[in-house]
Structure 1
Amino acid sequence: MSRPRILTVFGTRPEAIKLFPLVHALEADDRFESRVCVSAQHRDMLDQVLAIAAISLHHDLDLMTDRQTLDSLTARALMGIGAVLDEERPDWVVVQGDTTTVMAGALAAYYRKIPVCHVEAGLRSGDIHQPWPEEVNRRMVGTFARLHCAPTRAAAEALLRENTNPATVHVTGNTVIDALEWVTKRIEEHPSLAQGLAGLEARFAGKRIIGMTAHRRENFGEGMQNIANGVKRIASRDDVAVICPVHRNPNVRAVMSAELEGLENVALIEPLDYPHFARLLGLSHLMLSDSGGVQEEAPALGKPVLVLRETTERPEGVKAGTAKLVGTNADTIVRETFRLLDDEAAYAEMARAHNPFGDGKSAQRICDLLAESER
């Protein structure tokens, strides 16, 4: 009897981070034949993760173009992934999260009646425009996936409220914790993997470092301007320094450069590879971010997260106390940051809160679920 062929499809850096532990597990499991397809809707940042995780590709669609639009990307991803499915004829397609690649890959599989395993299923913000377009991408895949791997009980309950078949919904934890544990161990074994921040560590010695990332589409324009203004005010303190890997999207880069370039206590740097980003998390006293992944990763290292969004599809972190929604109002960002800097009890309450997102064993649970589904 032939082994089931599993085609894992992804296209961005966050997807690659959360899926490489599963790809490793599938490749090491004699029960499966593992194949990998990337859309490369984000090229350079994706390649960084592929390199550090030593992921071999079977199909690279290389779809990224300058200033690509959602409709053109969706059309090219749907056609390109569809052609790969016709060639590979997999028994399962695995996708993760909520990107355009996820939506197009899952839809192409559905058109061919190939079952879809949705990793990180069930996250809901309750607002179809935040995060945009990710909220709708994720909901759409949730309507027809055959296997829903929910990272938390709350995510599983969201699926059940939508009348998803309970037999297809499983709480697996989030594979991002598997990835963070893996890369942290690699850095311990090979410190050179993350030595690129040594200069900034020396420059900001004696200061509390605040890590900051911002890239969400719904924050483009006024929201991004407000975030930059808030960071500028925070960085006026002598006891802090802000390290900001600047997303390559010009809607982000232009604003951050205009407001923060040249400030003594701010370092605007190029996007970090995964080991260096894990190192930044470790160095930081707290994180300011509109990223979904950071809401999961930072608490695993005991770092509070102030979420630069009005809503989150990861309410578990807010409920557990590891994250707090602060939106994009500059006054609120400054006030909440200063509170964590100046109130030791408030900081300790967030830093010591239980991380609800996983135990580092999620990839193996998903492998076992795929095997059981083939019986």
Structure 2
Amino acid sequence: MKLMVVFGTRPEVIKLAPVIEAARHLDGIELLSCSTGQHRQMLDQALACFGLQADIDLGLMRDNQTLPELTARLIESLTHTYQQHRPDVVVVQGDTTTAFAGALAAFYQRIPVAHVEAGLRTGDPYSPFPEEINRAMIARLARWHFTPTSKATRNLLAEGIAPEHITQCGNTVIDAIGLIQQKWAQHPYQGEAADLFPDQDVVLVTTHRRENFGQGLENICEALLQLGREYPQLGFVFPVHLNPQVQEVVYQRLADIPNLRLMPPVDFETSLYLQSRSVLILTDSGGIQEEAPSFGVPAVVMRQHTERSEGIDAGFATLAGTDIDPILEAARGWLGAPERRARLQGQPNPYGDGKASQRMLQVLLNEGNGARHGHR
């Protein structure tokens, strides 16, 4: 079976790296990895973290690209790539424009699609934007739906996806964390973040969501200003996303806070290290919501909706929105209750057990060879 794994952003690489690694060691799979280059710098950073190099690099990133322009280039370029290499199965992950265009171009070529991390929903088509509609559209195009949790499975069943096409297998990001932890067992982390606030507890901050641009981001910065003053004993670490709409606001508002360190985006390993050192995380990242429970660290989710409510239900996270007062209330609730944080230590991660990649590939090996020709 010729398997083509398509990715274009840092989160996709992180969650597909363990799938690629596992596929390399399985008989019966001819593996091709295809990078669209949707996010160039952060994509390359993630590839280097796992020692990966794409077999095919489409290099489609452009400065200030619009969603329609990017989507059109992706469909055209991926169509040509599929025609040239003729994979039996195309694998896409999550909810990016690369994933949606990759699935649509494969459908046009009658190539079956496997969707990793299927079934996530907020119920609001504009939150997150455009990700919510991307993943809903991929669900109409995919042949295999690999869901991370029972809630994601229920979402797809409610949308009419046949149960025989759904495999609940956990989230591959937990597999990826396992790869990094194996690395640390041999060589403890010695990277750029090792010297940040060495004698202080750390609060990690990340924000990048498009729907938070503008007033939401202004509110997040104001909340951080207040928290920095209230908790001078804590070190706040903020890797700032490369998007100019994030950089301009953050560096203008937060450049001179003594116990806040602004820094460029970090690679996956450094992000995990910072999470492992943190007493609290303030984030609008979906990935970090999934990763933090592996370290027993609580998160304040600075979004109006989350498609990852399992962490909230399990007591690992608080959904605060982007208004100043709810962010402050949620952060104070965690920082002022060390016994509440201590209860998270050793609790299982609600998003997976580290074996998702193996489960997916076994399904594809069992069913993938005949799927292109319409066999079930």
Same fold (TM over 0.5): yes
For 2:139 and 2:95, how far apart are their aligned partners in 1?
10
1:257 is matched with 251
Deviation at 1:344, TM superposition (A): 2.6
SS where residue 123 of structure 2 aligns? coil
Report 1:1-375 matches (<5 A).
Answer: 4-191=1-188, 194-202=190-198, 205=199, 207-236=200-229, 237-350=231-344, 353-374=347-368
2:374 is matched with none
Deviation at 1:262, TM superposition (A): 1.9
Identity percentage of aligned residues: 43
SS where residue 239 of structure 1 aligns? coil
For 1:170 and 1:239, how far apart are their aligned partners in 2?
46
Shift >4 Å, 4+ stretches: 349-353
AA aligned to 1:41 is Q
Of residues 241-250 and 178-187 in structure 1, the stretch that sits farther from structure 2 once superposed is 178-187
Report the number of matched residues: 368
**Deviation per CA, 1:311-358, whole angstroms, max 9, x where unpaired?**
001111111111110011111111111111112333334556542100
**Deviation per CA, 1:28-77, whole angstroms, max 9, x where unpaired?**
11111000101010011111121121223221011111111111111111
Instruction: Judge conservation of contact 1:9–1:93 (CA < 8 Å) in 2.
Output: yes
For 2:190 and 2:254, how far apart are their aligned partners in 1?
25
**Deviation per CA, 1:201-256, whole angstroms, max 9, x where unpaired?**
33xx1x32100000000000000000011011101122212100000001111111
Instruction: Judge conservation of contact 1:322–1:353 (CA < 8 Å) in 2.
Output: no
SS where residue 60 of structure 2 aligns? coil
For 1:255 and 1:328, how far apart are their aligned partners in 2?
15
For 1:122 and 1:309, how far apart are their aligned partners in 2?
19
**Deviation per CA, 1:252-275, whole angstroms, max 9, x where unpaired?**
111111111121010000100121
Deviation at 1:278, TM superposition (A): 1.1
SS where residue 37 of structure 2 aligns? coil
Gaps of 5+ in 1: none
SS where residue 31 of structure 2 aligns? strand
Flag the 1:64–1:209 CA change in 2: closer, same or farther, 3 A. Answer: same
2:373 is matched with none
**Deviation per CA, 1:17-36, whole angstroms, max 9, x where unpaired?**
00000011111111110001
Flag the 1:226–1:351 CA change in 2: closer, same or farther, 3 A. Answer: farther
**Deviation per CA, 1:255-312, whole angstroms, max 9, x where unpaired?**
1111111210100001001211111111111111000000000011101011000100
For 1:161 and 1:185, how far apart are their aligned partners in 2?
38
For 1:310 and 1:84, how far apart are their aligned partners in 2?
38
AA aligned to 1:292 is G
For 1:14 and 1:335, how far apart are their aligned partners in 2?
29
For 2:244 and 2:119, how far apart are their aligned partners in 1?
31
